[in-house]
Every structure is written in structure tokens, then in C-alpha cells.
Amino acid sequence: MSEENKQKSSIWGGRFKGGPSDLMQEINASITFDKALYAEDIQGSKAHAQMLEKQHIISPDDLKAIQQGLDKIHREIASGAFSFSVELEDIHMNIETRLAELIGDPAKRLHTARSRNDQVATDIRLYVRNQIDELDVGLQQLQENLLKKAGENTKTLMPGYTHLQTAQPISFGFHLAAYIEMIGRDRQRLQDCRKRVNESPLGAAALAGTSFPIDRHLTAKLLDFDRPMPNALDAVSARDFALEFTSAATICAIHLSRLAEEIVIWSTDRFNFIRLSDEFTTGSSIMPQKKNPDAAELIRAKPGRIMGHFISLATILKGLPLAYGKDMQEDKEPLFDTTKTLSISIAAMSGMIADMSINTAAMRDALQKGHPTATDLADFLVRNLGKAFRDAHHISGTLVALADERGCALENLSLTEMQSIEPLLDENVYSVLKIEEACNARSSFGGTAASDVELRLAEAAIRFNLNDEHE
């Protein structure tokens, strides 16, 4: 590109005699990624123009031309007909330049009383707000799929684990219900973040406001913001909302990853608790018998990527003086990839939950190992024989060791064998060693009893506004 053409394409006006070098253009331009903000940028410009006309800063004819031109540009970009220019740096100037080509002088009046600083801050807030709303739809669907699967399995018994060792009997529905709560908190975090996102920077201009008689409350209303940000310097400088969003996204991705890990474990031939269809598995290039849970494994890996974006944004902001620095251009790619990565992870997890089939027999067989009713035995000794819990714990542990010696379950020890450890035991002890009874005995609020799980699922459906299809 010649120096003359560089100068003609410069957006900085008369201050610069020459144009930037090719290297400067390459490092400075953001259009390759911030074109994703085109809809938000046009939305903000239309609101700004509407306000300018109402305040008699531009004419009604200018407003009409600007609105029509922006609508045409929106159609061009959406259809793929728009030609983006690296020389014009970013989405703002690409749109403004095309608008001037379409409508002439009125396009030059659009930027009155605003800066690219408040323009991009507005665009990003609109983008994050839209993404939060879309993510919430996906998370709600995931909760509904979990609710349905949990409701179908409130009496499907399986081992509950700590340290991946058999702990106590639970139901598969009880286990899935835990993730309904976790995803619910993710939705709450994102909605809480949305409250701080939903403030308008538009009209803050470069950093100090403007001398034009603008109405920032009007533009905030037109863009469905709750209010204009009260300090112009903060309005253009703040990116904590983006940091908060990536933090909430990281926590959500971690929850998805934990469930993905369990799906990986449950689908192994050693567990065989669930089966995934061909839609969410892949094969091996060399081993024809393989059916790999690749979707779950990829979801398990995604938090590292999203967490990295959080660290990237935090590092960009940590020593940045007010107001705007070009460093802040680097906020967009981590933000865009966070939304894309989290969105596809949610969709894939939602699909797997709906898709999985449950091997109830394998779950039940797993309960024959690891003595999952040992705690119930200790509780029996406390409740029926008046033992102190620590003494009861010791007696129960000794009986577990005896069962291991005999190679059998606790309930298969004879009463004589049990009485050799604790003489006061009688036939009633066998009632607490049965898996169903042990699971249903935990009827405390939030416990494993099927009746309580069903109540909690019904309450969750109301709290999280879910379609309750499990009944």
C-alpha cells in the first residue's frame, strides 16, 4: 500500500502526515475478530442517532438516512456481502466508512458526541448481555434434561462415592439432582453479573463526557440498559464486567467438567453404569471395539481454556491506568472464545444427558462391593444398643473386616458371626443392612430417600422455572 493511499485511508484526520506501516496496521487492527460485534455496533449507533435527532443535534432527514443506511449495512454483513477492510482497523470505522459511501454527509454527523471508547464499551456490554441470555437458555435446557433423567431414576440405586471408594447407597436420580443445583447456581451467577453489565457507557465519549446537550438516559432506555453509568471515566475504562463474566463462565465450565468426568467413568467397561449412543461417541482408528466418550472428554478439558481467558483478561487490566489504553483491544478474543466454548459445552452436555441410557443392573451389582451399609450398621448400634458413635464405628469396622475375611457382604454374615464381635446384636440388625432400606432411611431434608428426592426435584422445577416432566 502506498504512503499516499495509507494517508487517504487514515481515520485519524489531519494530525498525521503519513500512514502507518504494514506492521503497525497488522498489530493495531482488530477487525478480524471484532466484526463479531457488528449487530451490537449498529444497534448502538441507531440509538445514538435517534437521541441526537431528538436533542436537535442532527436533523430528522439525517436520522432517516442514517437509520436506512445502517439497516442496509446490517443486511450486507449478515448475508456475507460486506467487504471488511484491515486499513479501517475495527468494526466501528468499517461500518462508518460504508455508511458514508451509502448516504454521504449525514454519516459524518453520526459520531457527534461520542468516541470509539464509549462506542466499543457499549458494544461489548450489549454483546455480553446477549450472550448471558443465550447461555441461560442452554443452561435451563440442561437442567430440564437432568430433571427428567433424575425423575426417572429416584429408585435406581447405585453407590455413592467419596475418594472414588464406595461410601453409601444413593439413587442415580439423587446424584443427578446435585448437578441441577450446581447449574442453578451458575445461572444465578450469570444473572447477577448481568445486572452489572446492564449499564450504559454511551455518551461518556472519550473519557470526560461531552459539551453537546445529549440525553444519556434516553440512549440507555433505547438500548434496554437499566441506567447510564454515572461516571464517564469509569464508563469507558471498566472491564470488570467482562472479568466477572469469564469468572462465572469458568465456574460453570468446571461444573460441566465434573459431570463430564463422571460420564467418562460411568461409561467405562469397569463401571458400565451408562451407555452413550453413536451421537456422542467416536471410534478408534486401530481398535475396532472402541467406543470413546470424546464429547465428555472435550468438555472435561474446556475449563482450562476458559480459565486461561480469565487470567488473560485479569492480566490485561491489572496495571492499566485510566482511562483507555490500546491494551483493552485484547479483551475481545478471550471474551468471544469464552462464550463460544461455554455454549458448545453446555449444548453437548445437555445432549449427552438426554441421550444416555442407564444400566440399572450394573449400578445394583456395584452395591454388592465396598460394604455401603456399614454406616447404617454403626447408626443401628447407636440407636438400638445405646452405643457411643465412636464405639459403634469401631464395632462396625471390625464387622467389615470380618466380612472381608469371609469374602461376603455384611448382610451375609451369620448372626453368630456378628455376635462374636458384638454379643448384643439380634436379628433386627439385618433390616438396616438391606440397600433399599438404607437408602430410604435417610429421609432428612436433602437426603437420599426416594420420597425426599422427588419433593426436592419438584421444588427445583419451581425455583429454576423448569418444565417438570418427571412426574
Which residues are known catalytic residues?
Answer: 163, 284
Query: Rounded CA gap, 326 and 11, in Å?
Result: 16
CA proximity to 82, closest of 132, 142, 39: 39
CA proximity to 188, closest of 116, 109, 251: 251
Q: Are 196 and 221 in contact (CB under 8 A)?
A: no
Rounded to 5 degrees, φ, ψ at 39 are -65, -45
| Pairing status of strand 274-275 against strand 357-358 | antiparallel
DSSP 48-116: HHHHHHHTTSS-HHHHHHHHHHHHHHHHHHHHT-----GGG-SHHHHHHHHHHHHH-HHHHHTTTT--H
CA proximity to 398, closest of 219, 117, 33, 406: 406
3-class state of residue 253 by DSSP: helix
CA proximity to 144, closest of 350, 451, 346: 350
Torsion-angle region of residue 92: left (phi > 0), alpha (psi -120 to 50) or beta? alpha
Residue with cell 426435584: 457
The vertex-145 CA angle with 143 and 147, nearest 5°, equals: 65
Q: Where are the beta strands (DSSP E) in 107-255?
A: 157-162, 165-171, 199-200, 227-228
3-class state of residue 162 by DSSP: strand
Residue with cell 449525514: 106
Residue with cell 485484547: 330
Torsion-angle region of residue 158: left (phi > 0), alpha (psi -120 to 50) or beta? beta
Q: Are 275 and 364 in contact (CB under 8 A)?
A: no
